[in-house]
Amino acid sequence: MGNASDTSAAFASTIPKEHDIFMGSLYSVFCVLSLTGNCVLLLVAHHKRSSLKPAEFFIINLSISDLGMTLSLFPLAIPSAFSHRWLFGEVTCQLYAMCGVLFGLCSLTNLTALSLVCCLKVCFPQHGNRFSSSHARVLVAAVWCYASVFAAGPLARWGRYGPEPYGTACCIDWHAPNRELLARSYIVCLFVFCYALPGAVIFLSYAFILLTVRGSRQAVQQHVSPQTKAANAHALIVKLSVAVCIGFLGAWTPYAAVAMWAAFGDAARVPPAAFAAAAMFAKSSTAYNPIVYLLCKPNFRECLYKDTALLRVRIHRGSPRSEPREHFASASQRNKDTSISTRLSNGQQEGYRASVDCTNSAAQGDGTGAQRTACILSRSSYSEVTVSKLPAAPQAEFL
């Protein structure tokens, strides 16, 4: 009975109920954002699966690990936070803690592998060009094996899983390092090999990438205008590098700091609210990562735009007031040609003109019936003429 009482006390919340409600609400937001972002990212990757680059395998794997964390942790953490205690027993607590460590470390290791591959391709292209999809698959499998070693450690008595000090979730037993040398060695190895080393690799990899791209940009600017693809690539890499580094440090630094505080100090003196705040920052990475890659990867973003546009067209076609199919084909062609005109006017001759077919179903002035007209796009203005007034070559093309 005493052990049961101790277990029940360990699963009771040690922070104010208002804080638990706030955590439950925040976890609910993280859960929705993570499910939406990671599912969209996987859907986009599925649609462009035939053209995936080797480095994009790691983005997909990152999304899978984040989705695994979302599905295994949030459905248990949210009701426990609102109930002001852990609701699911000791066995589920062990599984919850193992899933949190496994998927969390997989995401961390995956970010590290991705930064190394990007550095190899940008800084050492003679070797990076040899990196193939088969190499990426092997490295993805190695990422899962690396994370599994640390996730299985507490199950083999190297470290220990238990309730979090704030009571409504489970993770590594932070009090064990004060009593057991083996548990302390686990925390130290976790800090070194799953935070300090990956953080250093990510920082150095993106630093080398930025230095390399900056040198290439300076060389290019000596010959061409800065409004080139090189400048756009430089801006993209800067944004992605800063976003990934901020996300890594913001999500995991609080947890690493609290872990070392508990391992080398008196864990009983660490405020439970500190563990709760660190856990919230760590779980926020599941929502942050897909947003970064959907916003910063142009090919993912363009594929998402195409899927969204196609869905809108299908919904509109299915509505009772949908217009004839010819209107959609005409509008699609007009948007396509307008996009081409905009792109070329930014990078090529300014006098580029695009003509698109417009169906005019209204009768013309003398009652002769419907005539086919053409919209002429010159710079930013449209003019409309009948097809019969166009030169012979364009007229033949339209008809």
Q: Is residue 346 part of a domain?
A: no
Structure tokens at 180: 């057991």
Predicted pLDDT at 392: 47
Q: Is residue 379 part of a domain?
A: no
User: Is there a contact between 66 and 104 (Cβ–Cβ < 8 Å)?
Assistant: no
Count structural domains, the chain.
Answer: 1
247: nearest Cα among 206, 299, 187 = 206
Q: Which residue's entry shows tokens 């302390």?
A: 184
b/e sequence 266-305, b meaning 16+ C-beta within 10 Å: ebeebebebbbbbbbebbbbbbbbbbbbbebbeebeebbe
Predicted pLDDT at 330: 47
Q: Is residue 371 part of a domain?
A: no
Q: Is the dihedral of CA 53, 58, 63, 67 positive or negative?
A: positive
H or E segment to which residue 303 belongs: helix 298-318
Q: What is the tens place of the pLDDT at every residue in 239-286?
A: 776 787 788 888 888 988 988 888 888 888 889 899 999 999 998 988
Predicted pLDDT at 228: 53
**Terminus-to-terminus CA distance in the chain, angstroms?**
89
What is the amino acid identity at position 21? I
- What span, in angstroms and rounded, lies between the C-alpha atoms of 63 and 345? 38
- What span, in angstroms and rounded, lies between the C-alpha atoms of 208 and 198? 15
Predicted pLDDT at 299: 64
CB atoms within 10 A of CB 39: 14
Predicted pLDDT at 223: 55
Q: Which domain holds residue 203?
A: 2-307
Q: Is residue 17 part of a domain?
A: yes
Q: Is residue 334 part of a domain?
A: no
User: Is there a contact between 85 and 11 (Cβ–Cβ < 8 Å)?
Assistant: yes
Predicted pLDDT at 341: 39
Structure tokens at 19: 């804080």
At how many degrees (to 10) do helices 89-123 and 229-264 cross?
A: 140
353: nearest Cα among 369, 372, 377, 330 = 377
User: Is there a contact between 119 and 209 (Cβ–Cβ < 8 Å)?
Assistant: yes
Q: Which residues of the chain have pLDDT under 70?
A: 1-8, 217-238, 241, 296-301, 303-305, 307-308, 310-312, 314, 318-399
| CATH number, domain with residue 236 | 1.20.1070.10
User: Is there a contact between 123 and 210 (Cβ–Cβ < 8 Å)?
Assistant: no
- What span, in angstroms and rounded, lies between the C-alpha atoms of 203 and 54? 21
Predicted pLDDT at 192: 92
User: Is there a contact between 129 and 186 (Cβ–Cβ < 8 Å)?
Assistant: no
- What span, in angstroms and rounded, lies between the C-alpha atoms of 59 and 42? 9
Q: Is residue 382 part of a domain?
A: no
